[in-house]
Amino acid sequence: MSSRSSKSRQQLQSTVLAISGLLLLVALYIGVQLFRSGLAAYQARSFLDDWQANGVIPSERAWNVAFEAARSSVSQYPLLDNGEYLDNLGRVYEWQYFQSPFGDSLAEPSRRSALEAYRAAIGSRPLWPHTYGQLAYIKVRLLEFDGEFAQAYRQAFELGPWRPLVLEQLSEIALIAWPSLTSEQRKQGLETFRRTYEMDRQAARRLHELAESAGLLPQFCLALPLRSTQPPKGFCSAFVPSP
């Protein structure tokens, strides 16, 4: 009896050791994959930040390196989909033909891929306003002002009411796509312009230049509290009320 009990304990210990070893290997694998995925994501994000900060259109070689990094960060991530990494991948796709005209047929496949990446990112992070803004913008690039565009624009507005980058992006979309927007979307665009003006005068000046080139200065300047604030020199000067 004692011999059987000892044998059972040995078998149990062997099983526990085997399971512990397997769990250790799984944890080690996950840790390595997380590290590799995070490193690739950091590389992709570095390219994106540089292109955005300097307004630099990437060379083919730079884009390929950034794309491989963004793709690897998504494919190597060992857990459920990572919304941040998918968002990065969408942005890399978008930068491939960043300066191509809206509706351009050559740019469409890459923009479609960006759209798919943003959809997946939203599926993983449904409350992140920046990706909704990106999805709305890529729909503009595709000239698709449909229900998906409307929902993305609304969600970005509602989920990021005071996030500077979201506000600037939605204002820019409104200025670019004004004739195609509904009255509600136009109201939201004017409101994001007002909030941007109150929070970031430098960003507001960039939007002022875009509004001027689009012939929309009256609509946007009249939405600002110019009487109770001190606008920068030359900013909506024709619409500043006389003292």
How far apart are alpha carbons 68 and 78 in whole angstroms?
17
Contact 199, 162 (CB under 8 A): yes
* pLDDT for res 100: 96
**Res 242: pLDDT:** 64
Per-residue pLDDT at 227: 78
21, 57, 70, 207 from 117: Cα distances, Å: 37, 21, 11, 27
pLDDT in tens, 147-158: 999 999 999 999
pLDDT tens digits for range 167-180: 999 999 999 999 99
**What is the gyration radius of the CA atoms in the chain, in angstroms?**
25
Q: In which residue ranges of the chain is pLDDT below 70?
A: 1-8, 12, 14, 16-18, 20-30, 242-243
Sign of CA dihedral 34, 40, 43, 45: negative
Identity at 228, one-letter amino acid code: S
Assessment of whether the complete model's pTM goes beyond 0.95: no
